[in-house]
A and B are shown apart, each in its own frame.
Chain A
């Protein structure tokens, strides 16, 4: 008979409305055996009490229902973004508030590099925070006139390089394409936009380094997992992936390691071709043989439109606030209809990216049509983002049993852009409308889409509760939800969209012993401080994962310099 561990905590938030709090939880073989008070822990056989958390607050391990694992490889590179981010080793990379600060950080890093030919790569830069000053060769040449430098923007659609990199990649003033940006005098700024312009740099960099930032390796998966774990996450998605077959051996081996602190849910990106669905369904069935407690395959993602802040989302009347033309169909409506029907008829679980409300509506039409032809219970199909869905669309979701995962982080990071340019004040007040979703009875979750915004479900919950933009503006207090509801969205709500609510998402008997260990009670703090609640670490299947001690990233660099 296995050993039973009884965790004693100051408070346990169970997310079970019929037993919302407890002080003790018993764990055996990685599963929850009992929940309640000390008196409820009797008769469990040979057990020991673990007092590690007696001053801490436990809640179910946080579930990130929409993020990407590809960011993992980036953490080996210096981060030069505007907002603070914490790396896998616990190092805090402070946000940089001016181009001079970016130059300083890059220069410090450059001095630690021993091989003069090695390119310096950095990531996370976002030009929208620097008003009209665009980073260019003028700044990056100050870091080095000889070493090739590449700074990847946080959108991943642009990069800025220095003169040495332009030379290495063979990009000249005579290059006629739009994405190679020039100063008025015709000389190159070093900014390269979109895939074609970035390609020559990507090519020389990866031949040099032998790796792409999109590689899934043991190291990049662990980087991703450590960042997630420090944010209190115990289950995360990779939404989505076209190379699942190639990655399966790595995914299976790495997630099986006891040191790997996450349950991973890789989602297959659909090829977008209805003629291919039958073949993909076979591949999905084969991939499911790799499923374990920590690796869950089987779902498929469709992408219908682009992004609202990129003006590529598909909107209904009245369209973009600033008059921009309607966006693009990544998958045209007729194809959405065919794809949804075929996957649905084959029993597959779908995650469907729809940003604009026209895309959401067209997708609901497709789901309704599929359900009418092939009635299916517990399909759990989930709309991802659905940032402009209104009450009537949420009611349709409810009626079709469709779930929704709302991108509440957008309210902070792009809320001002939506208020001013894409949606206007009136619609921005209802972006990522959690309260409307809740009122309709639709099952909903909330997400970060990391690394596009940092992974951190407590912050995502803070966004849903406070609805504040980066400039401090509140967007639609009426769509705010309570802290309790937001905490449910980042635990049980997200688990429901992944079809895992029987295993994770709340602290109940039989479920996985996955906990998020907090320094304070998130239900007791001021709602505005929800994002600041300290996280000790996590428990996964009864194993403790303590977060590394917080330290400044610059301190790490200085230490390296002294060596």
Chain B
């Protein structure tokens, strides 16, 4: 059964999560997205899109649904994943102070869902001051650590020196993230949706979205083999990936289960190598990678993969 991609949107209070969510609900690109928000307050849905709200759920005419989390994320998420029809995508707004990874893990454990992306918004104007606050630093660090994509928001207001200072901090404290600079939480939909969709995945590596919002340059490539992987060597490789590999996904065959297919996923700090219900006809492994535009990253990765074959 096809899994529903899960995106977690995180960021401290005031970083711009609600603005981002408003945009997503209005420009859903044909997908039926269920968005779980902490509160409806601030959610600004175009009147044309609004249907009749029923309790904690606001259905929209474009097929999206906005659900308030209320007392319990578990209940709200169950509500949304037991509706008919099921959504095409689920987006959860992590609260301003929670660890988004704790929510993202749902996408790694529930068979109905698949973790697609953790996106953390940063208010560039006050991020560095917030880090000075001993009460906040742990929270902010967790939010950055959990992210695959960091959105530096309110850049024009903060000015280029600020942006640079934040980038320096990020380079020193957490590498391996996709970084996007913007204002008003404007984020290309491909950044948070479709990192696990192989076509969108490749497009991401090639796209530039315009002069004011420049995208960190990425590259994508694929790796294929008809030889078996050594399961233990592949697991070790997954645990020690070279710097610059941001995402990986694909199907592999290993010597532990030679007649079955395994799914390999790498996103942020999560690695997954799991069996799926599919018997392969041929013993083929196909992987797609997205990485930073570092010289010879593809060559390095390919060499390591070859070394992990039987």
**Of B42, B73, B102, B139, which contacts A329 at CB under 8 A?**
B139
Q: Is B95 an interface residue (CB 8 A)?
A: yes
Residues of A within 8 A of B (CB): 169-172, 174-180, 194-200, 202-203, 206-207, 212, 214, 241-243, 246, 269, 271-276, 279-280, 328-335
Contact A197 B135, beta carbon cutoff 8 Å: no
5 closest A-B pairs by CB: A170-B111, A196-B105, A174-B274, A242-B71, A243-B70
The residue on A at minimum CB distance from B71 is A242
Interface size on B, residues (CB 8 A): 42
Known A-B contacts A177-B105, A207-B78; A172 and B96 likewise in contact (beta carbons under 8 Å): no
State A214–B77 Cα separation when bound (angstroms): 14
The residue on B at minimum CB distance from A246 is B55
Closest Cβ–Cβ distance, residue B238 to chain A (whole Å): 10
**Of B78, B102, B133, which contacts A194 at CB under 8 A?**
B102
The residue on B at minimum CB distance from A206 is B78
Q: Is B303 an interface residue (CB 8 A)?
A: no
**B39 contact set on A, CB distance < 8 A:** 271, 273, 276
Contact B41 A174, beta carbon cutoff 8 Å: no
State A246–B273 Cα separation when bound (angstroms): 42
Closest Cβ–Cβ distance, residue A206 to chain B (whole Å): 5
State A172–B103 Cα separation when bound (angstroms): 19
**B103 contact set on A, CB distance < 8 A:** 195-196
Q: Is B165 an interface residue (CB 8 A)?
A: no
**A176 contact set on B, CB distance < 8 A:** 108, 270-272, 274
Residues of B within 8 A of A (CB): 13, 38-39, 41-42, 55-56, 69-75, 77-78, 81-82, 95-97, 102-106, 108-112, 133, 135-136, 138-139, 270-275
Work out how many contacts link A and B, with CB atoms closer than 8 A.
Answer: 123
Closest Cβ–Cβ distance, residue B48 to chain A (whole Å): 23
Known A-B contacts A174-B275, A273-B13, A333-B135; A199 and B106 likewise in contact (beta carbons under 8 Å): yes
Known A-B contacts A180-B109, A242-B70, A275-B41; A207 and B272 likewise in contact (beta carbons under 8 Å): no
Write 11 A-B pairs (CB below 8 A) sorted by A numbering: A170-B110, A174-B275, A175-B108, A177-B105, A177-B108, A195-B102, A196-B103, A200-B110, A203-B78, A212-B72, A243-B71
Q: Which of A196, A212, A214, A271 has the most CB of B within 10 A?
A: A196
Contact A332 B105, beta carbon cutoff 8 Å: no
State A172–B272 Cα separation when bound (angstroms): 12
Q: Which of B55, B70, B108, B270 has the most CB of A within 10 A?
A: B70
**B106 contact set on A, CB distance < 8 A:** 195-196, 199
Closest Cβ–Cβ distance, residue A196 to chain B (whole Å): 4
**A214 contact set on B, CB distance < 8 A:** 71-72, 75
Contact B41 A273, beta carbon cutoff 8 Å: yes
The residue on B at minimum CB distance from A362 is B135
Contact A279 B41, beta carbon cutoff 8 Å: yes
Closest Cβ–Cβ distance, residue A119 to chain B (whole Å): 15
Closest Cβ–Cβ distance, residue A234 to chain B (whole Å): 26
Contact A334 B133, beta carbon cutoff 8 Å: yes
**A178 contact set on B, CB distance < 8 A:** 105
State A212–B72 Cα separation when bound (angstroms): 10
Known A-B contacts A176-B272, A246-B56; A330 and B97 likewise in contact (beta carbons under 8 Å): yes
**B275 contact set on A, CB distance < 8 A:** 172, 174
State A333–B133 Cα separation when bound (angstroms): 10
State A242–B71 Cα separation when bound (angstroms): 5
Known: A269-B71, A271-B38. 8 other contacts (CB 8 A): A178-B105, A199-B109, A203-B82, A212-B74, A243-B71, A272-B38, A275-B41, A332-B97
**B82 contact set on A, CB distance < 8 A:** 203, 206-207
Contact B42 A199, beta carbon cutoff 8 Å: no
Contact A332 B136, beta carbon cutoff 8 Å: yes
Known A-B contacts A202-B78, A203-B112, A332-B135; A172 and B274 likewise in contact (beta carbons under 8 Å): yes
Closest Cβ–Cβ distance, residue B231 to chain A (whole Å): 12
State A140–B256 Cα separation when bound (angstroms): 30
Contact B74 A175, beta carbon cutoff 8 Å: no
The residue on B at minimum CB distance from A199 is B106
**A275 contact set on B, CB distance < 8 A:** 41-42
Contact B13 A335, beta carbon cutoff 8 Å: yes
State A269–B72 Cα separation when bound (angstroms): 12
Contact B109 A276, beta carbon cutoff 8 Å: no
Closest Cβ–Cβ distance, residue A246 to chain B (whole Å): 5
Contact B105 A272, beta carbon cutoff 8 Å: no
State A302–B68 Cα separation when bound (angstroms): 19
